Amino acid sequence: MADVPFRTIHQIVKAARLRLNQTHWDYLVGATETETTLKRNRMSIDSLALKPRVLRDVSNVDTSGSFLGHNLKIPVCLAPIGSLQVFEEGGGATAAKAAAEFGCMVMSSSVCMPSLEEIAASADGPKIFQLYVRGDADWTDEMVQRAIDAGFTAFCLTVDTATVSRRERDIAKGVVPTSTAFMQNQRDPSGNLNYQAMLNWSDVKRIREKFDIPLILKGINTKEDAAMAVDHGIDVVYVSNHGGRQLDQGRGTMELLRECVAEVGDKAKIAVDGGFYRGTDILKAIALGADIVGIGRLEAWAMAAGGQPVVVRMLEILRNEILLGMALSGVTSLEELDESFIAESQPVVPPSVFSAFPLVDVDDEGY
């Protein structure tokens, strides 16, 4: 990796901005309507401070974690992005290769190219397949079986996309987002864009009972739905508000996480995403009870900045930040982290998609 020039994550973000046109940049950094949920994600992370312990032997720090039986170099998953091929032509296959090379997990979107079979065959690392439902029960069951046959580690249903949201950066320019265009191109006479709106707990029950594969629900926002997920035997409750890209005026990531962890306890694993860009962000999530943290925009920025080598470099930098954060907090393993290492505090910068990168100076409006 010596030929990759980046030494900080903010350099990767800046390189992505220079490579992307305004339309693709807006798609990546934008959110729904007022973009309040996106900002609250960062506000909720930045409103928590770390409480370090000192005079502990931290000469040997272990950043590794495990998830669904797989050992990971850091407890991170490359989150599913429906338009990865816009940022790098290899799309989901490139992300899978980068995750395997580094040693973390990847979740591949059903509206990402190439096919799920090609993504599965592209790398040996642990991979999860994520589905947007675009057909009836038979269609959905066929997708689950294809994921099992292809060797995916787990199957994930995204449950917070009952309708296409209003992303005004795109609307104002008359741009159809790539993922939406993909869905429209897949339309059949049955009107399959409506199937996601019809998705309900009976579908979850059917999949859980019919298939022997770890099942994840992505998009849980409340303790009530977390409890329902546990009642349906879900293996992983994936706490997410879609990075602020679905419902506007939603709550921030950490508020959702705390509520769901308290409800789920040890009945299921907890994944979370939404605004996590730095090593200390990930440590905060682990301290509050997350088992793994998804990174989406950070993944796409790295893809846009140079594909697989830059994604690997980004993960290396993230691991270094995690390692330093652990050592300076007085812990040698992630299992030592709990809420005693967290305190409420005041953010020092206005919340935005770039508030984790004070050295980045980019025009993020783009209307």
Quote the CA–CA distance of 162 and 333 in Å, as a whole number. Answer: 39
For residue 343 the two structure tokens come to: 């305190």
Instruction: Using DSSP bridges, classify how beta strands 215-220 and 236-239 pair: parallel, antiparallel or unpaired.
Output: parallel
Query: CA distances (Å), 60 to each of 63, 126, 255, in order?
Result: 10, 27, 32
Quote the CA–CA distance of 64 and 59 in Å, as a whole number. Answer: 16
Nearest to 106 by CA among 69, 152, 159, 65: 152
144 CB contacts (<8 Å, ≥6 apart)?
Answer: 131, 155, 207, 210, 211, 213
- What is the separation of C-alpha 261 from the centre of its chain, rounded to a whole number of angstroms? 17
Peptide bond into 114 cis (omega under 30): yes
Quote the CA–CA distance of 215 and 229 in Å, as a whole number. Answer: 10
Quote the CA–CA distance of 240 and 275 in Å, as a whole number. Answer: 10
Phi/psi-derived region of residue 366, left when phi > 0, alpha when psi is between -120 and 50, beta in every other case: left
For residue 153 the two structure tokens come to: 């580690």
Residues annotated catalytic, as ranges: 242
Nearest to 96 by CA among 69, 125, 70: 125
Q: Is the dihedral of CA 115, 116, 121, 124 positive or negative?
A: positive
Query: CA distances (Å), 275 to each of 42, 70, 195, 241, in order?
Result: 6, 24, 28, 10
